Amino acid sequence: MDNEVTPPQQMSRGESSLKGSAQTDFGPEGYKPMFSACIEEEVRRFRQLFDLIPDYLYVIDWDARFRLANKAVGEAHGWEVADVVGRLYSEVDKDEKQAAMILSRCRETMIKKVPRLTEEMPFRRSDGVEQTLRLYEVPFEDPITREPMLLGLAVDITAQKRLEAELLERKKLQRDLQVARDIQQGLLPNDIPVCCGFEIAGWSEPAEQTGGDYYDWIPLPDGRTLITLADVTGHGLGPAIIMAGCRAYARAIFRRHATLSECFARLNQLLSEELTNGRFVTFAAAALDTQRGVVELLSAGHGPQFHYLVERNDIAMYDSDGPPLGVLPDMRFNAGKSVKLQIGEALAIVSDGLYEVFNKRGEMFGVDRLAQIIKASARKVPSEVIASLRNAVAEFSATTSYTDDMTVVVIKRGPRS
What pLDDT, in 10s, does the model give residues 248-303? 999 999 998 779 999 999 999 999 998 987 899 999 999 999 999 999 999 999 98
342 and 267 in one domain?
A: yes
Contact between 332 and 261 under an 8 Å Cβ cutoff? The reply is: yes
Cα 287 to Cα 66: distance, rounded to the nearest angstrom: 85
Q: Is the pLDDT of residue 7 over 50?
A: no
Q: Is the pLDDT of residue 315 over 60?
A: yes
Domain membership of residue 391 (yes or no) is yes
At 325-376, the pLDDT tens digits run: 999 999 999 988 999 999 999 999 999 999 999 999 999 999 999 999 999 9
Domain count, the chain: 2
Predicted local confidence at residue 238, as pLDDT: 87
Q: Is the pLDDT of residue 2 over 80?
A: no
Q: Could you give the CA distance from residue 119 to residue 133 in angstroms, rounded to a whole number?
A: 8
Residue 175 lies in a domain: no
Query: 384 φ, ψ to 5°?
Result: -75, -30
So what's the pLDDT on residue 34? 66
pLDDT at 8: 42
Give the model's pLDDT for residue 345.
Answer: 97
Single out the residue of 210, 150, 200 nearest to residue 179, CA to CA.
210
Residues 385 and 258 in one domain: yes
d(CA 403, CA 358): 10
Final residue of a structural domain among 144, 160, 176: 160
Q: State whether 129 and 57 are in the same domain.
A: yes
CATH number at residue 311: 3.60.40.10
pLDDT of residue 20: 42
The verdict on 107 and 248 lying in the same domain is no
Q: Is residue 252 within 8 Å of residue 310, measured between CB atoms?
A: no
pLDDT at position 266 is 95
End-to-end Cα distance, the chain? 160
Q: Report yes or no on 182 lying in a domain.
A: no
**364 lies in a domain?**
yes
Sign of the four-CA dihedral 154, 160, 162, 168: negative
Q: What is the pLDDT of residues 49-70, one digit of tens each?
A: 778 889 999 999 999 999 999 9
Average model confidence (pLDDT) across the chain? 88
Sheet holding 281-289, edge to edge: 213-219, 225-232, 281-289, 294-300, 337-340
Determine the residue type at 104.
Answer: S
* Residues 201 and 103 reside in one and the same domain: no
pLDDT tops 50 at residue 210? yes
Nearest-CA neighbor of 240 among 249, 231, 228?
231
pTM of structure: 0.68
Residue 100 belongs to a domain = yes
Note whether 35 and 130 are same-domain residues.
Answer: yes
Q: What is the pLDDT of residue 257?
A: 77
Query: Taking 80 as the threshold, does the pLDDT of residue 83 lie above it?
Result: yes
Helix (H) or strand (E) holding 153: strand 148-156
Burial of 172 (0-12, 13-18, 19+ CB in 10 A): exposed
The verdict on whether omega for the bond into residue 304 sits within 30 degrees of 0, i.e. cis, is yes
- Please give the residue range of the domain that contains residue 155: 28-160
Same domain, 284 and 402: yes
Residue 139 contacts residue 112 (beta carbons within 8 Å): yes
What mean pLDDT is predicted for residues 391-405? 89
Q: Is the pLDDT of residue 13 over 90?
A: no
Is the residue at 167 inside a domain? Answer: no
Q: In the chain, pLDDT over 90 holds for what percent of residues?
A: 71
With 60 as the cut, is the pLDDT of residue 71 above it? yes
Contact 71, 51 (CB under 8 A): yes
What pLDDT is stored for residue 52 in this prediction? 86
The reply to whether 226 falls in a domain is: yes
**Statement: residue 28 has pLDDT above 80:** no
Residue 190 has pLDDT above 70, yes or no: yes
Q: Please state whether beta strands 305-309 and 213-219 pair in parallel, antiparallel, or not at all (unpaired).
A: unpaired
Residue 103 and residue 58 share a domain: yes
Residues 353, 208: one domain? yes
Instruction: Quote the crossing angle between the two packed helices 237-254 and 158-187, to the nearest 10°.
Output: 20
Q: Does residue 166 lie in a domain region?
A: no
